[in-house]
Structure formats: C-alpha cells, structure tokens
Amino acid sequence: MFKEERKSLQFDWSHLGDIERGRPNLGPQTTVAVYRLMQFTLHDAIIAHTDVATANRIFHDAGQSAGKAFYEHLLHETNDFDRFVAELQEALRKLSIGILRVEASDSLTHRFVLTVAEDLDCSGLPMSEELVCTFDEGFIAALFSAHFGKQFTARETDCWCAGDRVCRFEVVLAER
C-alpha cells in the first residue's frame, strides 16, 4: 500500500480497508492498550531515527491528515458551529476517542478552548511533566480548519500526564 517514496502526505480513507469484511469475527473494536502500543512504539522508533522535535512534527502532521479525513468522512459540512460541535462530540464518543467539551468559544476572534476527557492518548498514564498529545493538536486544528475554511492551530495547554484530568487545547486562527 505504501511502497513508493513521497514528500507529502497521501492518506486516503480507503486505506482503512473494509473492516467489516476483513474482521467478521473480531469486528471494528480493539483496546486502548493496543492503540497506545502502536502509538508509543512508533513515536519511540521515530525519535530513535531522528529526534524528539521531528517525531512530534510527524505526529502533528499525521494528526492533521487524520482530522481532515475524519471531518470529510464522518461529519456533515455546516456553517452552524453548535451543530459542528454536537456532531464532533457524538462521533468522538461513539468511536470511544474521548469526551469533548467546549470551555470557551469566541467566533469573532476565532479563539476556542476545548477539553477532552478519557482520551485515547494519555488518560490514565503516569505523570511525566510533559504534554504528549501532539497528534491531537494536529487532529483538532484540521477539524477546525475544515469547518471554518481557514487555517487553525491547536496547542495543548493542560494534559493528564502533567497532572490534569483532562487534556485542554487552545484553538486559534493561524497567523499568516
């Protein structure tokens, strides 16, 4: 599926395959431990071959690619921010990705503060004094960019691993 060299992301939703056909007995679900096993060993391998900053950029870019595809395939295009958030909350809950809440929302300045509880990436991990949700930053930025049709950035400001019980993200319009 990915044999050729490339300089840009080329993920397509079809790369997920026909899960129903391919897993008739096990179905579409797995455990959080299996997800984290893949995520953290991949992150570790990238760091071993490059460095932490490069690994984090790669995870951020992958999150953006995933967020764009998620928006295109699982959410309905709408100009209504409340509907967008409601659909996103339901999709994240239904897929057991996390529980999304909007703490602050300012459509005029394009500044939003979100929390995600029980997230896949770090809820329940030991304290580490670092923010680990770089994939989520890219994912959330892409969702907001797709909804508004403008470039957004998302930055994690609080994390389970740093002592919080939710991950908090500040989402803002990207500077040009």
All domains in the chain, ordered by first residue: 16-173 (3.30.1380.20)
Element (H, E) at 90: helix 81-94
Measured between alpha carbons, how far is 159 from 51 in angstroms, rounded to an integer?
Answer: 22
Give me the phi and psi of 116, to 5 degrees please: -130, 120
Q: Which residue has the tokens 């995870």?
A: 59
Most distant CA pair in the chain: distance in Å? 49
The pLDDT score that the predictor gives to residue 79 is 92
The pLDDT score that the predictor gives to residue 152 is 98
The pLDDT score that the predictor gives to residue 151 is 97
Q: Where are the alpha helices (DSSP H) in 95-153?
A: 134-148
Q: What is the DSSP letter of 126?
A: P
The pLDDT score that the predictor gives to residue 2 is 64
Measured between alpha carbons, how far is 11 from 42 in angstroms, rounded to an integer?
Answer: 17
The pLDDT score that the predictor gives to residue 44 is 94
- How many CB atoms are closer than 10 A to CB 32? 14
The rounded percent of the chain whose pLDDT value lies above 90 is 80
- How many CB atoms are closer than 10 A to CB 129? 8
Measured between alpha carbons, how far is 119 from 93 in angstroms, rounded to an integer?
Answer: 10
Under the banding of pLDDT at 50, 70 and 90, the label for residue 1 is low
Whether the pLDDT of residue 83 is over 70: the answer is yes
Contact (CB, 8 A) for 70 and 139: yes
Q: Which residue has the tokens 């995520």?
A: 39
Measured between alpha carbons, how far is 58 from 77 in angstroms, rounded to an integer?
Answer: 27
- 53-57 long-range contacts, CB within 8 A, separation 24+: 56/134
pLDDT tens for 105-141 read: 998 999 999 999 999 999 999 988 676 899 999 999 9
